[in-house]
Structure 1
Amino acid sequence: MAGYLVSDTRKVTTHRFLEMKQKGEKISMLTSYDFTTAGIVDKAGVDAILVGDSASNVMAGNVTTLPITVEQMIYHASSVVRAVQRALVVCDMPFGSYQIDRHEGLKNAVHIMKRSGCDALKLEGGIEIIETVKGILDAGIPVMGHLGLTPQSINKFGTYAVRAQEDEEAEKLLADAALLDETGCFAIVLEKVPAALAKKVSETVKCPTIGIGAGNGTDGQVLVVDDMLGKTQGFSPKFLRRYADLNAVMTDAIGQYVTDVKNIDFPNESESY
């Protein structure tokens, strides 16, 4: 079954990403971390699914993305891959898996690809990690870049505030984006940067840009699925649009179940053997 606005049921590839940008078609992307959710997201017509290291927060309850491991990312990514037929599946390389050196990064990248079956990997950073990005690309593994607010560097930043508002940081972001593009990244995520800057990057680089808190001038958008469905509470950044309130729906349903069990209303005769 195709999605709401999707008639093309072919598997989305990195080449299709570039085609979408060239045609002016916006790219839709959401996170997923498990088989059931990923199947629903894929069926609804999303172009790409990010198995984000945000699983550290959403699935495990950690304060930051830093604690999640390579093996945990492989577990989540392989669960997602088994459910997906159309969407491009991108897996985050977690903190510590690629920052040490090129050899370590390439070793972990190959390990994640072989074990998870995902289509591509995402790395945070620009010139600081460019040699590792080159090594991974040379191995035939597609790489999605990530600039702006990079959550794996939260202890360095000390805040989740908007990035690149000052000229110096904005110029570095532009330079990093150009470098990632020239090196061969098939897309770049721009997180929490001024909309005008994100639009400028998008018009400058050949590869598609995917924004989160970066305005609508990017080539696509990404959100954390649990946030946009209203499952999470207490997280309401300016860029987040909630498309449902599943927290309330689930709480009401579970509360009704508890009531029915206590009142000996469940199971009834028709639900018994």
Structure 2
Amino acid sequence: MRELVVLGTASQVPTRSRNHNGYFLRWDGEGLLLDPGEGTQRQMIHAGVASSRVTRICLTHVHGDHCFGLPGVLSRMAVDGVEHPVHLHYPASGEAVVRALVGVAGGGVDLRLHPHGSAGEIADGLDVVPLHHRIETYGYRLREPDGRTLLPERLAAAGLSGPAVGELQRRGRVGAVRLDDVSVPRPGQRFAFVMDTAPCAGAEELAEGADLLVAGSTFADDDADLAADYRHLTAGQAGALAGGAGAGRLVLTHFSSRYPDVAHLADQARARAGEAAVVAAADLDRFPLPRRRTREAGGR
């Protein structure tokens, strides 16, 4: 199962209806907790996300609204008797903050610390790319390998069925029939997480071809000067990011408390998002990842 559970959607200041931001991504056997702000432990209870489901915790940066929920989550995992290793990924420059937060939690979890200081793959299929914020910040991308979709009519025409099909998939060829002859490319699914940042090449790299793109939309386009000062995206910039990258769905979040209603932010993003579906997230929303796309040979 692959699904994004939104635990909170506020930015620096929570509101009556929006908790500090936090996100849980179910990805097959992995459970990634992204940017757990204050109150994340309680939001997980409301969302029905058991602490035992968390296998990785990913921090984009160490501003409080993105990490101050970490001690509570770790404490809950200890109380729940979570036995599997939990991997914590974070920018290397935030080491002192992370160790202080982990120290407050008091232990009891097999926590593995993984600081990173440059772009690259930090776990199987999980990449980080630098963003442009006021402190060292990274976005995350989770991807599966590209594959191929078998076409039944081509298999039948080639006279292949049963065990021969399995052999074809393993070896890439059975007799004169190649795997490419009876299949089309299938892009692997991609999830991208682009939080606090001004527009930058790193955000574009992360968003490229994402089936599901989560992006901060802290300010309305009318407040572009504020967005530039704080190095955040406006709604329109988030939409342009999705549209330029060919993303399938854009989930807007990390809203400033100055906007009690964010419908106009979704409209501003939608106007620049091209074919991407746009939604302004609310706390406890769920977004299943779409079915994998099949690409015809020679097509996009």
> TM-score, structure 1 length as denominator?
0.34
Higher relative contact order (CA 8 A, sep 6+): 2
Greater CA radius of gyration, 1 or 2? Answer: 2
Structure number with higher strand proportion: 2
Structure number with higher helix proportion: 1
